[in-house]
């Protein structure tokens, strides 16, 4: 089930993020992956949980965290999903979609009209398109000089 990301989930979410950065973000070079891992430590996640108006969620089954979504507070109606990750063993079971749909619902309740996010690879881009997001921009040589797509979702 989907629930709000809380302090007791931090260790599990951190593990999911690190594994995903190491194993799935092949579009980024080693330096970028190291930087992301260093920057997204458990202290940052603790700070994140305490931020007001953000939307951050986990999906768990019998106490095991299998997915997570971290979103920023919206600014003038536009929210950013920073991370969406589903454990490798649990992909293809609608967990990513459920996290995105719940985030959309919560952002709507907070008064946002749009979710945006960026992706560096075509495979995850196709996932977002499949659930309804649209390509809004192609960002050349963006973070770490990697090309990203910006995707948007009108809520």
Ligand X SMILES: CC(C)(COP(=O)(O)OP(=O)(O)OC[C@H]1O[C@@H](n2cnc3c(N)ncnc32)[C@H](O)[C@@H]1OP(=O)(O)O)[C@@H](O)C(=O)NCCC(=O)NCCS
Which residues in this chain contact ligand X in the complex, by CB under 6 A?
Answer: 20, 24, 83-86, 91-97, 119, 123-124, 126-127, 130-131
Most distant CA pair in the chain, distance: 42
**Shortest distance (Å) from residue 20 CB to ligand X:** 5
- Indicate the residue among 104 and 119 with the shorter CB distance to ligand X: 119
Q: Using CB atoms within 10 A of its CB, is residue 35 exposed (0-12), middle (13-18) or buried (19+)?
A: middle
**Shortest distance (Å) from residue 98 CB to ligand X:** 7
Other residues' Cβ atoms within 10 Å of the Cβ of residue 136: 14
**How does DSSP assign 35-90, residue by residue?**
HHHHHS-HHHHHHHHHSTT-EEEEEEETTEEEEEEEEPPPBTTEEEEEEEEE-GGG
- Indicate the residue among 32 and 76 with the shorter CB distance to ligand X: 32
**Shortest distance (Å) from residue 41 CB to ligand X:** 18
- Indicate the residue among 101 and 111 with the shorter CB distance to ligand X: 101
CA 116 centroid distance within chain: 11
**Shortest distance (Å) from residue 43 CB to ligand X:** 21
- Indicate the residue among 85 and 103 with the shorter CB distance to ligand X: 85
């Amino acid at each position: 089930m989907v629930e709000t990301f809380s302090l007791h989930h931090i260790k599990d979410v951190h593990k999911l993020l690190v594994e995903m950065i190491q194993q799935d973000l092949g579009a980024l070079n080693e330096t970028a992956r190291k930087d992301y891992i260093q920057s997204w430590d458990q202290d940052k996640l603790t700070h994140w949980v305490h931020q007001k108006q953000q939307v951050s969620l986990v999906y768990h089954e019998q106490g095991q965290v299998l997915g997570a979504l971290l979103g920023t507070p919206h600014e003038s109606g536009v929210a950013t999903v920073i991370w969406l990750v589903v454990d490798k063993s649990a992909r293809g079971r609608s967990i990513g979609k459920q996290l995105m749909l719940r985030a959309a619902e919560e952002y709507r309740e907070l008064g946002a009209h749009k979710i945006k996010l960026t992706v560096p690879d075509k495979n995850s881009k196709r996932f977002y398109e499949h659930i309804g997001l649209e390509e809004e921009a192609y960002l050349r040589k963006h973070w770490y000089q990697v090309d990203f797509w910006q995707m948007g979702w009108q809520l």
